[in-house]
Structure 1
Amino acid sequence: MAESIPKRLKTEPISIGTHNGHFHADEALAVYMLRLLPTYKSAQLIRTRDPALLKTCHTVVDVGGEYDEGSNRYDHHQRGFDTTFDNRPTKLSSAGLVFKHFGKPIIAQNMGASEDAEEVDSVYKKLYTDFVEALDAHDNGISAYDPKAVSTAGLEKRFDEGGFSLGAMVGRLNPSWNDPVSTDPAEAQKAEDEKFVIASQRIGEEFSRALEKLTKSWLPAREIVHAAYAERLKHDPSGRIMVLSGGSVPWSDHLYTREAQDGTDSKVLYVLYPEKPVPEAKWRIQCVPVSRGSFESRKSLPEAWRGFRDDKLDEISGIDGCVFVHAAGFIGGNKTFEGAKAMAVKALQ
């Protein structure tokens, strides 16, 4: 497969420049992504804010006050910078800039496909919104919700999730204020750089896992979900029950996309699938969330069923073979497909 973007690059030796001092998730990921490509695989890393040294670097990320694809400069801190990913509102960080320009070659290389393949483009867009965009927002100080709207609504956080992010993970790998520091500037910089390399590898591993999950699991599930959607009327005349006979696959994204393309007002409410791809497997009934990432269901399972199991649930529901219904009402189970379908049909009423 041709690596089209790096064909523009200069000759060896290749060096990647970024700033020294306290490091962040965006440049840690930017450096990792570049090093996935053959051109940068053995690139030297130079961490400095010295303009003279940065000028010698082949590619510079997150420092230098310049965004210029032609000269491989990918900073986002300069006044007036407002570049975003295609059809997304979030201002890019160095991670987003590198992904915008090098994401397709990285994905195409991983998939063994052409950069202009439709599958590559699908993964490219999905990987940005699922992984990279949150890092862009975090580095640019953009909240997931409009702070004014949150304040007007009187909403308060139930807990602090600040430490539960990739940005926080990278932040914890920075040297602490009271760590011993060598009096030799070169040794001190070397120690700091070593910590940055660890951080870049750590966040990069998560990026690679996300990419692998999309290419090996999410993308192949698309055809399965679309086929099940096309056959949904066999299970419910109004199309509110969808059956994934082959097992549980990542279905929600593909279902929402297919519904949007279809433009129907009759949305799928329940998805049925076997727990395992074997004939004797138990079946699950799962409620479709109102939107991507929501914990609210379009139509929850009946309140009277929630929190009950086995024979007691059989008695309450009037359906044989029940296994459970979650106390929150978003998922349940039955010993057979017929039983799970009966639960879905009755829940529709």
Structure 2
Amino acid sequence: MSTNDETQGAAEAGARAELLKMIFGFRFSQVVHTAVRLGIADHLADGEKTVARLAQATGTHPPTLHRLLRALAALDIIIETAADSYRLGALGRPLRFGAENSVTALTLSAGDDMAWRAWGELTHSVRTGEPAFDHLAGMNNFAYMAGRPELAAAYHEAARRDTADLAPALATHVDFSRFKKVVDVGGGAGALLAEILRREPGVRGVLFDTPAGLASAPRVLAEAGVAERCEIVAGDFMEEVPEGGDAYVLKYVLLDWDDDGARTILANCRRAMPEHAALIVVELMLPDRPDSWTAVGDLDLLVTTGGRERTEAEFEALLRSAGLEPASVRALPDEAHFKVIEAKEVRT
């Protein structure tokens, strides 16, 4: 065999190994999801335990639980300390409920049965351009969650944590002190608005979302010490948004909607905005050559909500189609591809 043949053979073997990781990746996701549903990390938080004790605590079949624990140990999520005993590993600590860096809410939301089934119908979405979730459930993702409080709570908690990570950079990068009233449209639990109000004592806020999205808002705002300066308003931004703000913030909102839905949200904001008001859109801007995480994430929007990631040019065109003119576009420091677009209403 020639050197070239050997090189090609090694490359093909390496490619096959990489493809197998992709093909069977769903197995690893379900191992982690099941561990969170059973609370394995929380049961090990105070120290090593035997399989028998864990089985009793989780209400599971001991020999079968042992097989799951063996898989978790192989993934370095837990560590085997004896033939039938395990302790929590560093990789498993974020799988504890209530941990500072917890990913439990995200795991439960992403691993929900309907999310899995929707991904199983990706081919339907590619063929039709329609969200597979709607095809399977007979309703959109948000209507489905409205009837499932536990799932909605997991989704909104994951969103709160995601926003809390970005809020300091955004509140620092955008000068909110120039506004008297900031309306956070689709602001969920209020992590971003709480950070803005905490930094800017002269600003008042309006937090606007569905009742389910606002469930944790009183606690979040109170803990930040800004509850007295923030009005909580429940509603549907597909119908209308509160009037009279100086700034309207849309963070991670438009990505969940197709162009028609996003245009409706933008038009409702424009109608509510006084002449001097600004619209501040915070989104990931799709680069010309997205990485695998971003590109696959765009497909997740396709199958679950019918939304999409957009390029900077696509966002600007979307804003103009809703009667808004982009005034500036700025990248967020240390946040790859996330940008802030500030727009004003087009006056004729």
Name the TM tier (shorter chain).
under 0.3
TM-score, scaled to structure 2 = 0.27
- If each structure's strand is expressed as a fraction of its own residues, which one has the higher value? 2
- Higher gyration radius (CA): 1
TM-score, scaled to structure 1 = 0.27
